[in-house]
Structure 1
Amino acid sequence: MAGKYDKYVFNPPHMQMSLKADKSVVFDGLWVGKQLVNYDFTMGHQFVRKPFKGDNPAHTHNFQEFLAWYGGNPDNPDEFGGEVVLYLGEEMEKHVFTRPTVVSLPPGFVHCPLEITRVDRPIIQIEMMLAAPDGSPPTREPFFEKDKGFNPQEVMDFKNLSQPQ
């Protein structure tokens, strides 16, 4: 039976993103985007089980983004069990996280690369991208000249692993 408010309830697909060059997986989790919720919002949620180095070069975009990492132990939210490295700003300031962390990335702010250097226990990683403040389509611009022309679609494979219902 269809419910009156079913249009507000979503079952996000299980998506996997891997590098074409070596097949290493850089995202394996649930992914919600505009095509599912009909709103300019994207959210990825995954359990990181092993270290990885993303190929995403330093870049900016025209929307607010949040990155978050949490430990997977529901009995001890401060237990992290890993290490995350993220570079921030034009100076590529290195930040190392060994405890639960949320990073706010305003529009136009330089960030990445990102690397998960150690995973002792699964880490929860969440990425949220909000709509651009002026309603314009989302943009993503590499910051350094050497990375101009980088296109994630060219270096990554995207797979929907959800079973049809």
Structure 2
Amino acid sequence: MEKGKYGHLIVTELKAPQFSDEYYRAYSRWAKRILWMDGNVVPGAFQMNCSWYLRPNEPHFTEAHTHNSDEIIGFFGSDPDNPYELYGEVEFWIDDEKHTITKSCLIFIPRGLRHCPLIIRRVERPIFHFNVVNESQYVAIK
């Protein structure tokens, strides 16, 4: 990729934060992280990461938490001929409400609203997932 004046703003390789080796081992059993951007990767950037969900996850991998800023979470099916079909099932909690997601969607989580667990119950085709937190780093407050 050409550098140029703005080449540093284009991220094409995974530069994830330093989580524990156990976290990465557990995550890789059911998902493939693609890219991560935050203020450490590109100074001034807010946080976004994206992954492919490939198989069901461990139920307690993503515990309930909040953030100090708004978050957008996305789940997308991988069939371009049927883009709204998730071909899987995601259990996602918003405060004390359980939501069963079977269609491609975007979820808006206002700052301070407790959300998760996020449980991947079924995967027939890879599910593209991303989240965006309007902070320079991803910080989950338990």
Q: Could you tell me the TM-score, scaled by structure 1's length? A: 0.70
**Whole-Å separation in 1 of the counterparts to 2:104 and 2:62:** 22
Instruction: Please point out which of 128, 131, 136 is paired with 1:127.
Output: 131
Residue segments in structure 2 that go unaligned for 5+ positions in a row: none
- Kindly report which structure 2 residues correspond to 1:1-165, keeping only aligned pairs within 5 A, or say none: 2-13=3-14, 15=16, 20=22, 23-25=25-27, 27-29=31-33, 30-52=35-57, 53-89=59-95, 92-131=96-135, 139-142=139-142
| Greater Rg by CA | 1
Change (3 A) 1:15 1:61: closer
Identical aligned residues as a percent:
30
Shift in Å at residue 117 of structure 1?
Answer: 0.3
Code of the residue aligned with 2:9 in structure 1: it is Y
Q: Is the 8 A contact 2:74 2:129 kept in 1?
A: yes
Q: Which moved more, 1:57-66 or 1:109-118?
A: 57-66
RMSD: 2.7
Q: Which moved more, 1:123-132 or 1:62-71?
A: 123-132
Change (3 A) 1:54 1:32: farther
Residue segments in structure 1 that go unaligned for 5+ positions in a row: 143-165
Q: Which moved more, 1:2-11 or 1:99-108?
A: 2-11
Shift in Å at residue 41 of structure 1?
Answer: 1.1
Code of the residue aligned with 2:40 in structure 1: it is Q
Q: How many residues align?
A: 135
For each residue in 1:21-49, what CA deviation from the matched residue of structure 2 results, as whole angstroms up to 9, or x when unmatched? 8x432652121121111125111111111
**Whole-Å separation in 2 of the counterparts to 1:6 and 1:81:** 36
Code of the residue aligned with 1:62 in structure 2: it is N
